[in-house]
Copies of this chain bind each other. A is one copy, B any other.
Amino acid sequence: MSKPGERFRPIWIDHQSDVVKVIDQRALPHELVIMDLNSVDQVIFAIKEMVVRGAPLIGVTGAYGIFVALKNGKDNADETYIKGEAGKIRKARPTAVNLSWGVKRTLSAVLSEKDPSRQIDIARQVAGEIAEEEVKNSRNIGQYGVKLIREIAREKPGKPVNILTHCNAGSLACIEFGTATAPIYAALEMGIDVHVWVDETRPLNQGARLTAWELGKYGVPHTVITDNAGGHLMQHHMVDMVIVGTDRSTYTGDVANKIGTYLKALAAKDNNIPFYVALPSSTFDWTIRDGVADIPIEVRDPDEVRYIPGAAKSRDNLLMPETSPAANYAFDVTPARLVTGFITERGVCKASETDVRRLFPEKV
Which B residue sits closest to A221, measured CB to CB? B325
Q: Would A208 and B320 be within 8 Å (CB), given that A228-B259, A230-B263 are in contact?
A: yes
Q: Could you tell me if A228 and B263 are in contact, using CB atoms closer than 8 angstroms?
A: yes
Q: Could you tell me if B319 and A200 are in contact, using CB atoms closer than 8 angstroms?
A: yes
Partner of A205, one of B197, B209, B319, B323: B319
Partner of A232, one of B209, B228, B329: B329
Report the count of interface residues on A (CB-CB < 8 A).
58
**CA–CA, A297 and B226, complex, Å:** 16
Which residues on B sit within 8 Å (CB–CB) of A258?
Answer: 228
Q: Could you tell me if B235 and A321 are in contact, using CB atoms closer than 8 angstroms?
A: no
Closest Cβ of chain B to A56, distance in Å, is 22
**CA–CA, A320 and B215, complex, Å:** 12
Q: A123-161, CB under 8 A of B: which get 1 and which 0? A: 000000000000000000000000000000000000000
Q: Would A320 and B209 be within 8 Å (CB), given that A259-B229, A266-B270, A326-B224 are in contact?
A: yes
Q: Could you tell me if B225 and A305 are in contact, using CB atoms closer than 8 angstroms?
A: yes
Which residues on B sit within 8 Å (CB–CB) of A309?
Answer: 319
Which B residue sits closest to A308, measured CB to CB? B308
Known interface pairs A228-B332, A232-B333; 8 further A-B residue pairs with C-beta atoms within 8 A, sorted by A's residue number: A200-B319, A208-B320, A212-B320, A223-B326, A225-B329, A228-B263, A229-B332, A309-B319
Which residues on A are within 8 Å of B, measured CB to CB? 29-30, 197-198, 200-203, 205, 208-209, 212-213, 215-216, 222-233, 235, 258-260, 262-264, 266-267, 270, 292, 297, 305-306, 308-309, 315, 318-321, 323-329, 331-333
10 closest Cβ pairs, A-B complex: A228-B260, A232-B332, A266-B266, A208-B320, A212-B324, A202-B226, A231-B262, A29-B321, A263-B263, A224-B326
A-B contact pairs, 22 of them (CB 8 A): A30-B315, A200-B305, A205-B320, A208-B319, A208-B324, A209-B319, A212-B324, A224-B305, A224-B306, A224-B319, A224-B327, A225-B326, A229-B260, A229-B332, A231-B260, A232-B331, A233-B329, A235-B292, A235-B332, A263-B263, A263-B264, A309-B319
